[in-house]
Amino acid sequence: MKFNTIDVHGLKMFYRESGRKELPTFLLLHGFPTSSALFRNLMPMLENKFHVIAPDYIGFGQSASPSHTDFKYTFENLTNYVDDFLTQLGIDKFYMYVFDYGAPIGFNLAVRYPERILGIVSQNGNVYQEGLGKKWEGRKKYWAHPTKELREQYKSAFAPETIKGQYLGGEKPGTVGPDGYTLDIYYTGKPDYAENQSDLIFDYQSNVANYPKYQEYLRQYKPELIAAWGKNDPSFIYPGAEAFKKDDPNAEVHLLDGGHFVLESHWREIGQLILDKWAK
């Protein structure tokens, strides 16, 4: 595995890369509050059959984290940077793995360039109303009536115990190590982290508004899709996985006995699903 950075519009983007470049590319798109480190176990499983690329978005992991007063923290803008990142690396067609925040970024790319998508893995990467758990009811009220008080309240998402709970919730004891959440907690100490991420929490409403667009893409292009879902996730609940089958006859659904970060405990199973379906 190699660890690299590239300049995208004057900002450093960090990425992990493995596998030979002549192999089909697999783009791995992480979620919140993590980084490309999420894929540290999966990448070695895929690297003999794919050219694997996992970037850190602007504001995440080892990539640049400008202040929200200097950078527009929206999902459209994060997509733009991933888009230009791929262009600079000369990556045209690719499979993609989308998790959490990676889902709107990945599906934004799919809507822009449907001809480039070879296949999709959605691991708790929601694009359906059916997949929104109860916590989103409060978020919708915040989006409709934003106040400074609510913005401060939602900064609890960055608290160490919240992050740890996201990793361990819905998992069997002893199946998730501390490495992932400990690193994520470290990154919350970056300057302006809470304000930058608060902008993204508020902008998440744009992703929900785009759900019909993502669903239309699925209906029209019917990509091969694996929905590998932690069925105990309270944030993106498992009906969101089953909903893919409404619009995409090439979707297969696998409900795994884990939570939001099910890749931490089931990376072998998810990796094998990918290899069984697409490895040549």
Residue 52, pLDDT score? 98
User: What is the maximum alpha-carbon separation in the chain?
Assistant: 53
Q: Is pLDDT above 90 for 121?
A: yes
How many residues can be counted in the chain?
Answer: 280
Residue 100, pLDDT score? 98
pTM listed for this prediction = 0.97
Question: Catalytic annotation on 260?
Answer: yes
pLDDT tens for 7-61 read 999 999 999 999 999 999 999 999 999 999 999 999 999 999 999 999 999 999 9
CA distances from 82 to 85, 88, 140, 175 (A): 5, 10, 27, 32
Residue 280, pLDDT score? 77
Q: What percent of the chain stands above pLDDT 90? A: 99
Q: Which position has the token pair 């459209």?
A: 76
pLDDT tens for 162-212 read 999 999 999 999 999 999 999 999 999 999 999 999 999 999 999 999 999
Give yes or no for a contact between 33 and 261, defined as CB atoms under 8 angstroms apart.
no
Can you tell me whether residue 191 is helix, strand or coil? coil
Q: Residue 269 and residue 24: Cα distance in Å, rounded?
A: 21
Q: How confident is the model at residue 106 (pLDDT cuts 50, 70, 90)?
A: very high
Express the helix, strand and coil content of the chain in percent, nearest 5 each.
Answer: 50, 20, 35
What mean pLDDT, rounded, does the chain reach? Answer: 97
Residue 185, pLDDT score? 98
Cβ count within 10 A of residue 114 = 12
Q: Which position has the token pair 């929206």?
A: 74
All domains in the chain, ordered by first residue:
2-278 (3.40.50.1820)
pLDDT tens for 253-272 read 999 999 999 999 999 999 99
